[in-house]
């Protein structure tokens, strides 16, 4: 009888504990899910800001490195002067060398832009270009990891679906900002100019330039003011190209090789 009471008591207590802990927990999960959508919307702006900030440090981090190296080389250079005690012309030669040496890293930094084009040509035999391209892959990967680390911290280097979602948002925010700030000049003259919406699809290469002609949906059927609105959207997409300055993450190229843009001037022109 006592045992039965204890067992019953334990069961009831565990039921109460379960009810107190689990049931409300389910509730909060549902609530949390409901709230996710607006919170994500707010995140876009935050991500935008981090992208903006991240954009500036990236080149700075790359650049500070050469200066660091330069001092080292400068430190290395002093030894030569003792050697050239004998002749005067030599100092100028040695002075030129340090100037030449810092250049190669700059060239290597430019080369990766060409490299993707050389990739799809496996039939060609190894060439100087190809070797250079191979060499250049290393810094490229490093920079991608660096940029990932900057944006999301080292723990999140493994891409989860949330990362992809977040990064997609930062990609679209960066492109949106560039086009809105620098390139789109909507036609304001037409009657009902505010209602002239246009959808343009842009195709990018991995280095951020236009892979082919951007397309405005239904362009062939357009006339008059609608066509003028489409022209202004196409001009904006072309004006802003290439998008290499946005440092779009190359490992996510599949996400941004094709971008759909809805140009809507209704908020600007009433």
Partner 1 sequence: MQMLKILIVSLIGFVSATLSAQAVIEIDITRGNVQPLPIAITSLVGSDQEMTSNGSVMEIGQQIAQVVTADLERSGLFSAIDPRAFINSANASPVPQFANWRAVGAQALVTGIAELEEDGRVRVEFRLWDVLAGSQMTGLRYYTAPRNWRRIAHLISDAIYKRLTGEDGYFDTRIVYISESGPYLDRIKRLAIMDQDGYNHKFLTDGSYMILNPRFSPTSQEITYLSFYNDTPRVYLFNIDTGKSEMLGEFEGMTFAPRFSPDGKKVIMSKAENGNSDIFAMELSTRRIQRLTSHSAIDTSPSYSPFGRYITFNSDRGGSQQIYVMDADGSNIKRISFGDGLYATPVWSPRGDLIAFTKQTGGKFYIGVMRPDGTGERILTESYFEEGPTWSPNGRVLMYYRKYPYDNNGGGGETQLWSIDLTGYNERQILTPLDGSDPAWSPLME
Nearer to partner 1, 90 or 228 (CB): 228
Rounded least distance, CB 80 to partner 1, Å: 43
Rounded least distance, CB 50 to partner 1, Å: 18
Rounded least distance, CB 206 to partner 1, Å: 15
Those residues with Cβ within 8 angstroms of residue 264's Cβ, 6 or more apart along the chain or in another chain: 197
Rounded least distance, CB 17 to partner 1, Å: 37
Nearer to partner 1, 147 or 172 (CB): 172
Those residues with Cβ within 8 angstroms of residue 66's Cβ, 6 or more apart along the chain or in another chain: 102, 105, 106
Nearer to partner 1, 117 or 238 (CB): 238
Nearer to partner 1, 94 or 255 (CB): 255
Contact present, 211 and 246 (Cβ < 8 Å): no
Rounded least distance, CB 266 to partner 1, Å: 8
Those residues with Cβ within 8 angstroms of residue 268's Cβ, 6 or more apart along the chain or in another chain: 186, 194
Residues in the site for partner 1, rule: CB under 8 A? 168, 171-172, 175-176, 179-181, 183-191, 213, 224-229, 231, 233-236, 238-239, 254-256, 258-269
Spatial distance between the Cα atoms of 192 and 195, rounded to a whole number of angstroms? 6
Rounded least distance, CB 165 to partner 1, Å: 9
Spatial distance between the Cα atoms of 32 and 45, rounded to a whole number of angstroms? 20
What H or E segment, with its residue span, contains residue 203?
strand 198-204
Residue 240: closest CA among 167, 173, 169, 175: 175
Nearer to partner 1, 90 or 215 (CB): 215
Sign of the CA dihedral running 136, 51, 185, 197:
positive
């Amino acid at each position: 009888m006592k045992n039965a009471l204890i067992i019953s008591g334990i069961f009831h207590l565990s039921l109460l504990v379960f009810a107190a802990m689990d049931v409300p927990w389910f509730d909060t999960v549902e609530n949390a899910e409901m709230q996710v959508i607006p919170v994500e919307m707010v995140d876009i702006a935050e991500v935008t800001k981090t992208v903006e900030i991240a954009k500036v440090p990236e080149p700075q981090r790359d650049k500070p490195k050469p200066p660091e190296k330069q001092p080292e080389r400068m430190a290395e250079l002093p030894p030569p002067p003792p050697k050239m005690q004998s002749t005067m012309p030599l100092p100028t030669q040695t002075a030129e060398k340090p100037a030449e040496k810092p250049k190669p890293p700059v060239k290597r930094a430019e080369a990766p832009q060409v490299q993707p084009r050389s990739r799809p040509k496996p039939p060609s035999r190894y060439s100087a270009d190809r070797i250079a391209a191979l060499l250049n892959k290393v810094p490229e990967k490093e920079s991608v990891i660096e940029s990932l680390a900057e944006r999301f911290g080292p723990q999140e280097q493994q891409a989860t679906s949330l990362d992809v979602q977040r990064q997609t948002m930062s990609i679209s925010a960066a492109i949106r900002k560039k086009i809105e700030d620098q390139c789109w000049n909507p036609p304001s003259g037409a009657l009902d100019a505010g209602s002239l919406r246009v959808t343009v699809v842009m195709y990018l290469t991995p280095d951020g330039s236009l892979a082919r002609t951007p397309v405005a949906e239904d362009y062939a059927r357009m006339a008059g003011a609608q066509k003028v609105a489409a022209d202004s959207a196409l001009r904006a997409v072309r004006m802003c190209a290439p998008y290499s300055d946005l440092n779009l993450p190359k490992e996510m190229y599949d996400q941004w090789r094709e971008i759909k843009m809805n140009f809507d001037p209704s908020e600007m022109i009433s």
